[in-house]
Amino acid sequence: MQLLSSPIGKQVKIVDVTTDEKTKNRLQNIGIIAGCEIAVLQSNFGDLIVKVRECRVALNKDVAKNIIVEVRNEEVTTDQAL
Amino acid sequence: MKKSRQTKRCDIKVALAGNPNCGKTTLFNALTGATAHVGNWTGVTVEKLEGNYRDRKSDLRIDIVDLPGIYSLSPYSPEEVVSRDYVLSQDADVILNIIDATNLQRNLYLTTQLLEIGMPMVVALNMADCLRANGERIDVKELSQKLGVPVVAISALKQKGLKELMQAVKEQKGVERKAISFISSGILKESVDEIMLLMEESNHKLFDSVKLVEGDKLMQEKYSALSAQIKEIKDKNQEVRERYGGNFETCIADQRYQYINDNFSGVITSDKEKPALSKSDKADKVLTHRFWGIPIFLLIIFAIFHLTFSENLFYLSAVIPDGAFKDVNTFSSLFVDTEYEEDEEGNISGANSIKSPGVFLQGLVEELGELVNGAREVEDIVDENDEPVLDENGEPMQEVVEEGGWIPRLLKDAPDWAYGVICDGVLAGVFGVLSFIPQIMLLFLFLTILEDTGYMARVAFIMDRAFRRIGLSGKSFMPLLMCFGCAVPGIMATRTIENDKERRSTILLAPFFSCGAKSPIWYAFAAVLATTVGWNSELTVFGMYVIGILVAMVAALILKKVSGQKGVTPFIMELPTYHTPQFKSVTIHIWQKLKHFVFRAGTVIAASTIIIWYLLNFNFKFQMVGEEGSILAIVGGWFEWLFKPLGFGDWKYIVAAVTGLIAKEEVVSSIEVLSGSVEAFVSMNGVTTAGVVSFMAFNLLTVPCMAAVGAASGELGSAKRTAFAVLFWILTSYLVSMMIYLVGTYWWTVFIFAAVIAGIIVAAHFINKKRFAKDDMNNTEASKNA
């Protein structure tokens, strides 16, 4: 699943980042890397604000399309807080 | 004598490194008291900043080099390369790494890389107090133990723990520290160790070999002699191939984060469950909302412009009776509008509005200008019949009716040329520029506050979508918006745009956004057009702004296509937690800008005004003549033919436009000098309404004032690029004005122009497509070969 279509507020796990190398490196540096957990806080027509390691990051749609995530097995959502 | 020499020497040199938005610049300011700015934009400190801290007790001087805010020591961005080159050069004695306790894991990503360099290091743990407020605790001792370097908890904002921090730095000087790496075990250890065996002894051997395993391009160049052996070693590593598809870069990043996660998650303990959404997140729910985000932003911007430029604060004239301020004293008139009109029945209208802070401050500076450089006014002496009284030579006799400011009074007996060059040339030009300062600075103040709170990063985010379509990113938005106030701060603000091509395009578009100084031109001409052809003057003024925006959009599209930029830079931006702006950082920032601007007004701008004043008052024989026979008039005459297709081929129009280079409000004042009034100017022979509009558009789009050109040249960084920019502005203004004139005169030409523009865009599109296709083919071939 693309990060783009991940439900808002749900903790998901990144399985792959399929951008070009340079973008991938920038994502890595800011903490977005395969294996880490990420939650979409907000989506503006595909542009996202995500929470990753206590840090808020804005990503545009092109980037969000190329972050592949999966829903974790145990259902932990932050829906109540929203 | 001896002592002063001693204090000049630097005892310890410290390299300050850390993530953006971790309080690094705040710490730098707190330690050095120097004039560095704290901003929430990623990468605001692109230049190298230095300052020093003095230990009062021991009279020890610690020099601090503020490295740019970076997330990593990879070779991709210039900030990262600058930082790692500096640290590796070992110019500094100690590395001071500041980390944000509220975002520990991400910050340690850089820390673990710095630890791979065998240099003394101290970690400043910032914002540990914020953690405590959230009911979390951080074990500083344990952190220090695990990192193997001293860790000092500080609060850069409250200036706490700084002495202890500097004490730790002092103790670390000269201490031998062995480089350590997270790769001390795991699947990469063997590769790193083997590569290290190939190298000569040095204390960043470990760092270099980790980077070589990573496939770091700069490092590979440095060790090009070893490339075959390194490749062999890396190829041997089966595990990386299996688990990471042979991608060592991803492997290292993943392993590094894994290591941080495994070793440091226990350092922070929490008493209570953390809320899923922080206060900052809740604010973002509203401020970056997909529908409300933009309206809220527009409201904020409107408020800022209102406070800076409005003559009618909060529209209070709606409740204040007409004429309320018509008799106030001179001092009070700085705050309120005293002008009013009286009709035949004695009804008074006007004199009932309060000035905004910006207009008040501007008035203050203008008063000051009047005091220093108020013009000396001379009138012909007339008799009872209004006939001039003549002296014995038959010349009309004159008397001084207004003594003028200090300088004109001092120069009472000076020759005309001296009076002219000082009062009309230098001082008029400098005061003209100075009179914008209050409003520019106020605008800057508001924008700095917005930046400091963290809101600006959100603005870039919400505007990104619209701007991507025309080849810019959200980060171009704020600088361009500032240009409506003044292009100078706007152009300076482009520094926050990372992508060079985008930054340069943004600078090129800057003058198209009609600045405050251009508005007098629109008002003056709109008033005349209202009487001559009956156009609604407000719509005329508004129309000029629209023309500017439309031209900017088309120009951005064309620039995008011509420069062959493939897509836009991906938008990845950290959104810092909102916080209240800090008085100190805001004032330091404003003060820096002010210094810069006043310096420019005193040098470049003063010099250029003298030149233009000279050209406008002297002929080729160095004789002082009026504007009519001046060099500019003569040269302008030569170029009349050039402006015929634009509909204003008259030297007076050309001269008026050229004087706009000093400052755009000069256009109106020189029109008044040349023709007596704007009305007379417009009703000149052979200039049609279309020609007048074309002239307005020309002034809007052409080369901006010298101050803006200076700023652009500073940001573009080379004379060649500046020349290109000037040429671009001249060409754009020429073509658009011609279009307006021709379409205004022969309406059907609109189809020709539309076709031409569409043609350019389509042609560029296809040429690029071909170019990209070629690139892609080369790329796939290259990857196949690899």
**Could you tell me if residue A79 is inside a domain?**
no
Tell whether B782 lies on the interface with A, counting CB pairs under 8 A.
Answer: no
Whole-number pLDDT of residue B7: 46
Separation in Å, CA of B775 to nearest CA in chain A = 15
Yes or no: say if B53 and B7 are a contact pair by the CB < 8 Å rule. no
- Share the mean pLDDT of chain B: 81
Total CB pairs under 8 A between chain A and B: 122
- Taking CA atoms, B40 is separated from B23, B100, B446, in Å, by 10, 14, 15
Distance (Å, rounded) from C-alpha B550 to C-alpha B123?
51
- Cβ–Cβ gap B249/A31 under 8 Å: no
Helices and strands in chain B, H and E counts: 37, 13
Q: Which residue from B276, B477, B463, B441 is spatially nearest to B358, judged by alpha carbons?
A: B441
DSSP line for B448-496: HHHHHHTHHHHHHHHHHHHHHTTT--GGGHHHHHHTTT-HHHHHHHGGG
Asked if pLDDT for residue B774 goes beyond 70, the answer is: no
Kindly state the average pLDDT of the residues B692-709: 90
Asked if pLDDT for residue B378 goes beyond 90, the answer is: no
Percent of chain B with pLDDT over 70: 91
B257 vs A24, A33, A49: nearest CB: A33
**Could you tell me if residue A59 is inside a domain?**
yes
Yes or no: say if B555 and B732 are a contact pair by the CB < 8 Å rule. yes
Kindly state the average pLDDT of the residues B710-727: 86
Asked if pLDDT for residue B156 goes beyond 80, the answer is: yes
Contacts of residue B687, defined as CB under 8 A and 6 or more positions apart, other chains included, come to B647, B648, B650, B653, B695
Kindly state the average pLDDT of the residues A13-27: 87
Whole-number pLDDT of residue B393: 76
Percent of chain A with pLDDT over 90: 27
Whole-number pLDDT of residue B604: 63
Tell whether B160 lies on the interface with A, counting CB pairs under 8 A.
Answer: no
- Cβ–Cβ gap B103/A54 under 8 Å: yes
Whole-number pLDDT of residue B565: 61
Query: Confidence band (pLDDT; 50, 70, 90) for B782?
Result: low
What six digits make up the tokens of B311?
A: 């003559």
Whole-number pLDDT of residue B754: 84
**Could you tell me if residue A80 is inside a domain?**
no
- Cβ–Cβ gap B257/A23 under 8 Å: no
Q: Which residue has the higher pLDDT, A77 or B53?
A: B53
- Cβ–Cβ gap B461/A49 under 8 Å: yes
Whole-number pLDDT of residue B4: 42
Tens digit of each residue's pLDDT (9 = 90 or more) over B39-75: 333 333 345 677 888 877 777 888 888 888 889 988 7
Asked if pLDDT for residue B293 goes beyond 80, the answer is: yes
Whole-number pLDDT of residue B786: 46
Whole-number pLDDT of residue B697: 94
- Cβ–Cβ gap A36/B257 under 8 Å: yes
Yes or no: say if B629 and B619 are a contact pair by the CB < 8 Å rule. yes
Domain count, chain A: 1
Domain B186-262 has CATH 3.40.630: no
Whole-number pLDDT of residue B605: 63
Asked if pLDDT for residue A62 goes beyond 50, the answer is: yes
Kindly state the average pLDDT of the residues A45-63: 89
Query: Confidence band (pLDDT; 50, 70, 90) for A74?
Result: low
Nearest CA in chain B to A81: B276
* Lowest pLDDT segment from B163-177, B273-287, B315-329, B416-430: B416-430
Q: Which residue has the higher pLDDT, B569 or B528?
A: B528
Cβ neighbours of B462 in A, within 8 Å: 44
Whole-number pLDDT of residue B38: 41
Q: Which residue from B723, B423, B668 is spatially nearest to B523, judged by alpha carbons?
A: B668
- Cβ–Cβ gap B258/A35 under 8 Å: yes
Separation in Å, CA of A43 to nearest CA in chain B = 8
Strands B49-55, A47-52: pairing kind: unpaired
- Cβ–Cβ gap A54/B250 under 8 Å: no
Asked if pLDDT for residue B373 goes beyond 70, the answer is: yes
B570 vs A19, A41, A80: nearest CB: A19
Separation in Å, CA of B209 to nearest CA in chain A = 19
Separation in Å, CA of B189 to nearest CA in chain A = 21
Contacts of residue B83, defined as CB under 8 A and 6 or more positions apart, other chains included, come to B17, B67, B68, B70, B73
Q: Which residue has the higher pLDDT, B354 or B5?
A: B354
Query: Burial, B629: exposed, middle or buried (Cβ in 10 Å; 0-12, 13-18, 19+)?
Result: middle
Asked if pLDDT for residue B368 goes beyond 50, the answer is: yes
B2-182 CATH: 3.40.50.300
Query: Confidence band (pLDDT; 50, 70, 90) for B5?
Result: very low
Yes or no: say if B510 and B549 are a contact pair by the CB < 8 Å rule. no
A40: left (phi over 0), alpha (psi -120 to 50) or beta: beta
Percent of chain B with pLDDT over 90: 13
Query: Burial, B417: exposed, middle or buried (Cβ in 10 Å; 0-12, 13-18, 19+)?
Result: middle
- Cβ–Cβ gap B284/A31 under 8 Å: no
- Cβ–Cβ gap A21/B249 under 8 Å: yes
Kindly state the average pLDDT of the residues B129-147: 88
Cβ neighbours of B290 in A, within 8 Å: 42-45
Asked if pLDDT for residue B781 goes beyond 60, the answer is: no
What six digits make up the tokens of B143?
A: 């952190």
Cβ neighbours of A57 in B, within 8 Å: 572-575
pTM: 0.76
What six digits make up the tokens of B42?
A: 């990623």
Q: Which residue from B85, B7, B18 is spatially nearest to B45, judged by alpha carbons?
A: B18
Asked if pLDDT for residue B279 goes beyond 80, the answer is: yes
Query: Confidence band (pLDDT; 50, 70, 90) for B687?
Result: confident
Cβ neighbours of A35 in B, within 8 Å: 254, 257-258
Asked if pLDDT for residue B449 goes beyond 80, the answer is: yes
Domain ranges of chain B: 2-182, 186-262, 445-747
A53 vs B103, B570, B573: nearest CB: B103
Tens digit of each residue's pLDDT (9 = 90 or more) over B634-664: 888 888 888 888 888 888 888 888 888 777 8
CATH number of the domain encompassing residue A9:
2.30.30.90
- Cβ–Cβ gap A49/B293 under 8 Å: no
Query: Burial, B165: exposed, middle or buried (Cβ in 10 Å; 0-12, 13-18, 19+)?
Result: buried
Tens digit of each residue's pLDDT (9 = 90 or more) over B250-266: 888 888 998 998 888 88
Tens digit of each residue's pLDDT (9 = 90 or more) over B567-602: 556 888 889 888 888 887 788 778 877 776 677 666
Between positions 68 and 97 of B, the ones with CB within 8 A of A are 71-72, 74, 76
Yes or no: say if B386 and B375 are a contact pair by the CB < 8 Å rule. no
Query: Confidence band (pLDDT; 50, 70, 90) for B489?
Result: confident
| Three-state DSSP class for residue A6 | coil
Distance (Å, rounded) from C-alpha B637 to C-alpha B643?
10
Asked if pLDDT for residue B231 goes beyond 80, the answer is: yes
The angle, 0 to 180 degrees and rounded to 10, between the axes of the packed helices B357-373 and B293-309 is: 30
Provide the domain limits for residue A58: 3-74
What ipTM was reported for this prediction?
0.88
Distance (Å, rounded) from C-alpha B583 to C-alpha A15?
44
